[in-house]
A and B are shown apart, each in its own frame.
Chain A
Amino acid sequence: MTQQKTYALPNTTTPGSNVIFNPAKCNGCNHCVEVCQCDVYIPNPVKGKPPVILHPDECWYCGCCVNDCPRPGAVYFNWPVQQRAYWMDKKTGKILRDSQT
């Protein structure tokens, strides 16, 4: 196992990653960078790659980056754990939860 270099880094913010990009689908068109009113994202230094999430702590979860993405599935929401939904199955009464990873 190769030893990875360990840097001294500050903690990430919460949320640390307000969305998840799917590099297989995202072609780095940066439409989400443009529609975000808070400039949560910047373009990736490598052209064609998904944007960089620079200010996740400013995301207000308006959803425009996901809703307006011209390649559906290239970016999707990643609710912080404390904000995940709970629901109940009407038939069984079982409590269920948004456990997406």
Chain B
Amino acid sequence: MTRWHDFIEKDGKAPAWPYPIHYDKEQEIETDILVIGGGIAGCWAAIAAARNGAKVAIAEKGDVSRSGAGGPGCDHWCNVPANPLSNVDPDEWASAMADMPFCNGIGIQIQCREDWDTLVEMEQIGGKIRDTKDEYVGAKGRDAKSKIMISPRYTRNVSFGPDAADRRKFKSNPQDKMNNTVIRVWGTTFKAALKKECKKLGVKIFDRVMITSLLTEKGVQGARVVGATGLNGRTGEFMIFKSKASIVATAGDWSLYLLNTELAGYNTFRSRTITGDGNAMAFRAGAELTLMERTGEMRLATGFRHTWYGGAGDASYENVPIVDAKGKRLPWPTQGWEDGGAMRPSEKDMAKILAGLKSGQYQLPFFGDFPAMKDIERSATWDLMLGEESTTKNITDSYERAGFNPSKHLLMNFSLIEGNTPTQWRTAGGGGPMVDWNLKTTLDGLYVAGENMFAAGDHSYAAATGRYAGRKAAAYTKQVAQGAVSKLQINQEKKRVYAPIKRTSGIDWKELHAGIAKAMQYFCSEYKTDLLLNMGLDALKEIEEVHVPRLYALDPHKLMRAVEDLSLLTHGQIIINAALARKASSRMLNHFRIDYPQLDPPEWDKYLTIKLANDKVKIGSKPQRYFGDMVKNYEKYNKDYTGVYKRK
């Protein structure tokens, strides 16, 4: 009896809700810093803040031990140019990474300067970052002395696109040695170590608690953030946090454009819990957000299969040659040493492959030819990279149990036979709060870290920026007292959060989610016009006025999902408003306006900002590279930075 249906089928009775129900109970917590989201960024923020003397609480929707996109694991520690094996200067690497419009130069500079320190601290607290058991002796990129394993990614260029194979010149690397800026790591050990360290430092962890809103001083929009409200998704208990500073680290929003969570585990790169809460609550509190018009085609998981289930050609499958059904090698990159980690074929090579299919030169389906690899390289890919990446260990385990042996078998690749992701299936995580060099938003008391930042990076970026935001927020809390929360604001939020449990019929969270997603797919996808986008705003308004009042929830879990839907709805509204405001097309922002077709005209070469003032949408702008000289500013703001933490 392990399926819900088993209980019904056996005696016609559903199991009782296993947790106490506390809808009317309130818990109040006072702390220096509240970290919102206990993923990679959140945990690092909490650790850094606690080490800097602050009293810290984390509120996490899941359980900190494995929550967040990086909770299950991580195989690449990317952009770590300050590591001892690197052949490039960290500042030059940062400058190359920032050599594109609409980047987040602040986050990039932090990552390049502090990623190595962060990784060393990860090792100090129990994460595995070296081949200490000598399992991969002989694998290319393994340094015999330090036992650090360099990944082929970025060894020639700052790219994993087709141009990854092209050598990019770095002044600091005049001999064109391998850049060595990405390290292979044993990331399944990381999250458990982070939780343990949080506990050791006295961080109060509130698992299963979703933060639903930020509290501002005296309840005024745009005023200092002085706390937050939360909901326990198991008990329904209401939480009131009073804090001198808060750090939002809830990542982006990968759910907004997807209709449901079924058929493929939703989207196996991000779970349903990632619903844009941080952006939605920061916006409602009056913070300025930017790049919100940027959405990207999902490409990775399409809802039809597991991400990374590609048989090669996806991120973890390094050095795997791709062959056709008859074993003939394709001009497809191996994302390995021979092509500098390129993941996708160039347009020219893709044309060759497609022509070859038509002429009979190549036959579908394609396969990842694991047996053709050197034993040690195959083991490094299959056992280390797939074994340690976020969601792939269960792939290696279950395939092997089913009889797959990488030394004998070629794994089928899904390229071309599966088709492409519809352009309406998008990620909506490109934007986030505007930040300064303290990773402070435009609101006092509110900081941001990790994927919640605009134009954010990956796992190691989340770690480094989390650690940085924690440090900066801790410094702020030493200068200020607790602010005054507004009882009225708390009561209004309580009313909003609990509305769905006051009803017993109407529509559930799944139907509402699909309704919001469909409106986004129709009106704010590949093709954009003022008319379409305004129809989108009207559609979301209608959802807000007609269908949200019908939203009902039968238990605390469904209530939390329902409140997440409200975050999605706000997030969608922000995105459409921002898309309407940018009256030009932009390649970098995946923003294509039929009514304003000119691509990246100079007058629109700026960040658009969006915020609420007196509950009205206000659009503003900031120039490209508003963050100034990255090296100078980093040094100006971090004179007190002492590098790797030294335990007392």
Interface residues in chain A, defined as those with a beta carbon under 8 Å from any beta carbon in chain B: 5, 7, 9, 12-18, 20-21, 23, 34-39, 42-46, 49-64, 66-68, 76-77, 79-80, 82-91, 96-100
B387 to chain A, nearest CB (A): 10
CB-based contact A52/B3 at 8 Å: yes
B208 to chain A, nearest CB (A): 7
Using Cβ atoms and an 8 Å threshold, which residues of chain A touch B399?
85, 87, 98
CB-based contact B391/A62 at 8 Å: yes
Segment with Cβ contacts to A, from B66-74, B161-169, B466-474, B599-607? B66-74
CB-based contact B272/A96 at 8 Å: no
Using Cβ atoms and an 8 Å threshold, which residues of chain A touch B311?
85, 87
B61 to chain A, nearest CB (A): 7
Known A35-B66, A98-B399; contact A60-B409, beta-carbon cutoff 8 A: no
A36 to chain B, nearest CB (A): 7
The answer, yes or no, to whether B18 is at the interface (CB within 8 Å) is: yes
Segment with Cβ contacts to A, from B7-15, B178-186, B330-338? B7-15
Using Cβ atoms and an 8 Å threshold, which residues of chain B touch A9?
5, 8-9
CB-based contact A45/B401 at 8 Å: no
A45 to B399, CA, bound (A): 33
Using Cβ atoms and an 8 Å threshold, which residues of chain A touch B8?
7, 9
A20 to B404, CA, bound (A): 20
A50 to chain B, nearest CB (A): 5
Partner of A34, one of B3, B63, B233, B264: B63
Using Cβ atoms and an 8 Å threshold, which residues of chain A touch B391?
60-63
The answer, yes or no, to whether B546 is at the interface (CB within 8 Å) is: no
Using Cβ atoms and an 8 Å threshold, which residues of chain B touch A35?
63, 65-66
Known A67-B393, A90-B410; contact A38-B371, beta-carbon cutoff 8 A: no
Using Cβ atoms and an 8 Å threshold, which residues of chain B touch A67?
72, 188, 393-394, 397
CB-based contact A57/B9 at 8 Å: no
Using Cβ atoms and an 8 Å threshold, which residues of chain B touch A68?
65-66
Known A100-B398, A100-B401; contact A42-B271, beta-carbon cutoff 8 A: no
Known A5-B12, A34-B63, A62-B72; contact A90-B409, beta-carbon cutoff 8 A: yes
A57 to B18, CA, bound (A): 19
Using Cβ atoms and an 8 Å threshold, which residues of chain A touch B267?
60
CB-based contact A50/B62 at 8 Å: no
A25 to chain B, nearest CB (A): 13
CB-based contact A88/B306 at 8 Å: no
Chain B residues 476-523 with CB under 8 Å of chain A are none
The answer, yes or no, to whether B557 is at the interface (CB within 8 Å) is: yes
Using Cβ atoms and an 8 Å threshold, which residues of chain B touch A90?
327, 369, 371, 408-410
Known A67-B188, A96-B403; contact A57-B261, beta-carbon cutoff 8 A: yes
Digit string of B51-67 for contact with A (CB within 8 Å is 1, else 0)? 00000000001110111
The answer, yes or no, to whether B411 is at the interface (CB within 8 Å) is: yes
A86 to B208, CA, bound (A): 37
CB-based contact A60/B268 at 8 Å: yes
Digit string of B575-609 for contact with A (CB within 8 Å is 1, else 0)? 00000000000000000000000000000000000
CB-based contact B62/A38 at 8 Å: yes
CB-based contact A44/B1 at 8 Å: yes
Known A37-B68, A60-B271, A90-B409; contact A21-B9, beta-carbon cutoff 8 A: no
| A-B pairs with beta carbons under 8 Å apart, 7 shown | A36-B62, A45-B16, A62-B268, A87-B404, A90-B327, A90-B408, A97-B402
Partner of A87, one of B273, B392, B412: B412
The answer, yes or no, to whether B367 is at the interface (CB within 8 Å) is: yes
The answer, yes or no, to whether B550 is at the interface (CB within 8 Å) is: no
Chain B residues 155-201 with CB under 8 Å of chain A are 188
Which partner residue on chain B sits nearest A11 by CB separation?
Answer: B5
CB-based contact B71/A64 at 8 Å: yes
Using Cβ atoms and an 8 Å threshold, which residues of chain A touch B395?
85
Known A16-B3, A87-B412, A100-B402; contact A37-B271, beta-carbon cutoff 8 A: yes
B277 to chain A, nearest CB (A): 14
A38 to B274, CA, bound (A): 10
Digit string of B294-326 for contact with A (CB within 8 Å is 1, else 0)? 000000000011100101000000000000010
A8 to B602, CA, bound (A): 64
Digit string of B1-43 for contact with A (CB within 8 Å is 1, else 0)? 1111101110010011110000000000000000000000000
Partner of B15, one of A42, A56, A77: A42
A88 to B327, CA, bound (A): 10
The answer, yes or no, to whether B390 is at the interface (CB within 8 Å) is: yes
A78 to B377, CA, bound (A): 29
The answer, yes or no, to whether B263 is at the interface (CB within 8 Å) is: yes
Digit string of B230-262 for contact with A (CB within 8 Å is 1, else 0)? 000110000000000000000000000000111
CB-based contact A38/B272 at 8 Å: yes
Partner of A57, one of B262, B304, B306: B262
Using Cβ atoms and an 8 Å threshold, which residues of chain B touch A15?
262, 265
A9 to B3, CA, bound (A): 13
Known A-B contacts: A37-B62, A37-B63. Give 18 more (CB < 8 A).
A9-B9, A15-B262, A21-B2, A23-B2, A36-B66, A37-B71, A45-B18, A51-B2, A54-B4, A60-B268, A62-B268, A63-B392, A76-B397, A76-B401, A84-B402, A87-B311, A90-B369, A97-B402
Using Cβ atoms and an 8 Å threshold, which residues of chain A touch B369?
90
B363 to chain A, nearest CB (A): 12
Partner of A52, one of B15, B262, B394: B15
The answer, yes or no, to whether B270 is at the interface (CB within 8 Å) is: yes
CB-based contact B66/A60 at 8 Å: no
Using Cβ atoms and an 8 Å threshold, which residues of chain A touch B382?
none
Using Cβ atoms and an 8 Å threshold, which residues of chain B touch A38?
62, 271-273
A68 to chain B, nearest CB (A): 7
Using Cβ atoms and an 8 Å threshold, which residues of chain A touch B362?
none
A37 to chain B, nearest CB (A): 3
Which of A42, A59, A62, A68 gathers the greatest number of chain B CB atoms within 10 Å? A62
A12 to B7, CA, bound (A): 13
Which of B66, B266, B369, B557 gathers the greatest number of chain A CB atoms within 10 Å? B66
Partner of B402, one of A7, A91, A98: A98
A35 to chain B, nearest CB (A): 4
CB-based contact B2/A37 at 8 Å: no
8 closest A-B pairs by beta carbon, nearest first, are A37-B62, A63-B394, A61-B265, A98-B402, A86-B412, A60-B271, A64-B66, A37-B67
A62 to B1, CA, bound (A): 23
Known A34-B65, A45-B18, A88-B367; contact A60-B272, beta-carbon cutoff 8 A: yes
B396 to chain A, nearest CB (A): 10
